[in-house]
Chain A
Amino acid sequence: MTDQANQSRRNFLYVAAGGLGAVAAGATVVPFIGSMLPAADTLAASKTEFDVSTVEAGQLVVIQWQGKPVFVVNRTAELLAQVDGHDDRLKDVNSEAIPEVQQDWMDTPEKRKYRAIKPEYLIVVASCTHLGCIPLFKPTQGRKDWGDSVPENWAGGWHCPCHGSYYDISARVVNGSPAPHNLHVMPYKYTSDTKVVIG
């Protein structure tokens, strides 16, 4: 056999060994990184049941779902009316920007506006989409109750104390906020008139 043939066989073996070695290394990474994903029991514990009738009119309750805080607000007719009239000041009026802010049941303009299956009960993830702080609930309009922590034309909603993001009473982010998106809506469904299963 010629030297050249030897050389080409040697190169082939080098490439084959290197390729297989890379496959082996890649395959080894899978179980190790995989083990850091939520374990089966953690995944199974990812549903929360809650009775919305325990939230009084106009009040906000923070509950836990998958270790994250969740807002449940009982919106009065007055609060529901505050949803209208400031569409031009919102980043994502119809909650369409990313999948996390919408759900299948948002099939009418009404539901996209109220962002709730039952308009009076708003249920959203309570983490500011900027860096995860919990925004403060400042439901009434104007600066009367909140001083200059809110803008002059405040329509009522949430104010994030960390970096000053604003959300309206449907948890839609207001222009000029560092937060990029509306507060996330997680999957949930009513199993009875007042009982919801979140997750």
Chain B
Amino acid sequence: MKMTKFVMAAVAAMVMGFSSQAMASGGGAHLEHANVDVTDQEQIRRGLTVFTDVCMGCHSAKYITFRGLMDYPEIGLTREEVDELRGEKSLMSGMISDLSIEDAVVSYGKAPPDLSLIVPGRRGGADYVYSLLTGYEHDPDGKVPDGNWNKVFPGNRIAMPDPISWLDHEADEAAELKQQAEDVAAFLTFIGDPHQNTRRIIGCWVMGFLLLLTFVLWRLKVEVWKDVKH
């Protein structure tokens, strides 16, 4: 079990490093690297808490159902925990924010995007989410109000007001806020493709098998081709 988990984590880290690098190269602003481990149940659960406490105030993640929070072993909540989270909502319901999209448009001028696919759907993926949450600064030109200027958002002017109160945080809070941003990035990375860990494990077996098959077919080909005189 330990070995499987180690292999899983190693492969995941390697591949994500590669792909996020490739994606980041297409983007504009420099992104901070987020330490995200989609096999780490604790980090994903911490991210879930940030998601439900902070993000879900406005954003939904409709493709992740409350049932999914129990069924995916990477999250693995108990029925009681899920019942507490969902309140009156159905177990089959996605994680829908209580703020209606219409009201959000009135309040913020823009519909908050659904976060189910925010990591695969943004250049830079988890790094982008992390950098965005920790990218709030005072507008250097002093025109954009505080909480609407973000150094990594395209165009810098963002409708989402500083969700984790990054702007003007106390020096000793920085580590904790960064941790929150990384955790929620981990959660969002996981829900963007909830079968990714299974996929990588199966992938290891498939690659091992194919290496053997390729080797045998290569030797067989060489053997049979000995008949051909050049």
Contact = CB atoms under 8 A, between A and B. Distances in A.
- Direct A–B contact present (CB less than 8 angstroms): yes
Interface of A: 6, 9-10, 13-14, 16-17, 20-21, 23-24, 27, 40-41, 44-45
A79 to B, nearest CB: 37
Nearest to B223: A10
Interface string B129-158: 000000000000000000000000000000
Contact of A9 (B67, B213, B223): B223
Contacts of A9: 223
Interface stretch (B15-23, B163-171, B214-222): B214-222
Interface in B187-230: 209, 212-213, 216-217, 219-220, 223-224, 226
A45 B93 CA distance: 11
B67 A13 contact: no
B157 to A, nearest CB: 39
B106 interface: no
A24 B213 CA distance: 9
A14 B220 contact: yes
28 contacts: A6-B223, A6-B226, A9-B223, A10-B220, A10-B223, A10-B224, A13-B216, A13-B219, A13-B220, A13-B223, A14-B220, A16-B216, A16-B220, A17-B213, A17-B216, A17-B220, A20-B212, A20-B213, A21-B213, A24-B209, A24-B213, A27-B209, A40-B71, A41-B65, A41-B92, A44-B65, A44-B67, A44-B91
B216 A20 contact: yes
Contacts, number: 34
Given A9-B223, A14-B220, A20-B212, 14 more contacts: A6-B223, A6-B226, A10-B223, A13-B220, A13-B223, A17-B213, A17-B216, A17-B217, A20-B216, A23-B209, A24-B213, A27-B209, A40-B71, A41-B92
A-B pairs, 5 with minimum CB distance? A13-B220, A20-B213, A16-B216, A10-B223, A17-B216
Nearest to B71: A40
Contacts of B212: 20
Contacts of B71: 40
A20 B206 CA distance: 12
Nearest to A23: B209
Interface range on chain B: under 10, 10 to 19, 20 to 34, or 35 or more?
Answer: 10 to 19
Q: Which applies to chain A's interface (DSSP): helix, strand, loop or mixed?
A: helix
A44 B92 CA distance: 8
Contacts of B220: 10, 13-14, 16-17
Contacts of A40: 71
Contacts of A44: 65, 67, 91-92
A140 B92 CA distance: 42
Nearest to B213: A20
A73 to B, nearest CB: 29
A70 B209 CA distance: 47
A41 B93 CA distance: 11
A114 B198 CA distance: 47
B64 to A, nearest CB: 12
Nearest to A45: B92
A20 B217 CA distance: 10
Nearest to B67: A44
Nearest to A40: B71
A40 B212 CA distance: 34
A23 B206 CA distance: 11
Contacts of A20: 209, 212-213, 216
B225 to A, nearest CB: 11
Contacts of A6: 223, 226
Nearest to B210: A24
Contacts of A27: 209
A40 B71 CA distance: 10
B87 to A, nearest CB: 18
Contacts of A21: 213
Count chain A CB atoms within 10 A of each CB in B212, B216, B217 and give the residue with the most.
Answer: B216
